[in-house]
Amino acid sequence: MLLKPIWQTEKLLITDIALEEIHDLQHLYETSSNLLHWDGREPDPAYVNQCYHVGDLPPDGLKENYKLQAIKRGKELVGFISLYHGYPHADTAYLSFLCMGNHFKGRGYGREVVQQLVSELQALHFKEIRINVSLKNWQALRFWIQNGFTKLNGMYGDREYSKEATGSLELCRSI
């Protein structure tokens, strides 16, 4: 089972992304992301388009198990989520990306989306949600831990510390 094409929080509407929204969501992704600082990568200039057409899939993943959804306040695009249903286990959802535009950060929208996402996935009988967070992304680590992602599933990245070294944590929340 997949997330519904349309669901909502108290203040926000979450919908499957329409083709005409790709450009604006790509702009949100590029301007709200500090990937270069977190893991040494420039933001992918085709990320949202790739997600829309192919998906952000795990190994052996299927596009039909993937959702890319816009987060809106009224008609205004606030951000998006990228979610795979059923990885690495059938009852696990993998949130590969939660993007909130810079103008919308700090308003509680991310927390609101995560709380409702948990409810939506519980209704679909998922047992956990996993995420992967860069060790250098302190703001995101704080956000996810405060939102219940407190179980550590794995550590990935460089073994030796340097300014250029990167690493990430896979965090999990039971639902």
Output the pTM of the full model: 0.92
Q: Count CB atoms within 10 A of the CB of residue 158.
A: 12
CA distance 137 to 35: 9
Task: For each of the domains in the chain, give its residue range(s) and CATH number, in order of start.
Answer: 6-174 (3.40.630.30)
How does strand 92-100 pair with strand 128-134? Answer: parallel
Mean pLDDT of the chain: 93
pLDDT of 68-79, one tens digit each?
999 999 999 999
CA distance 130 to 96: 8
Contacts of 16 (CB under 8 A, 6+ apart): 5, 6, 67, 68, 69, 70
Q: Residue 33: what pLDDT?
A: 66
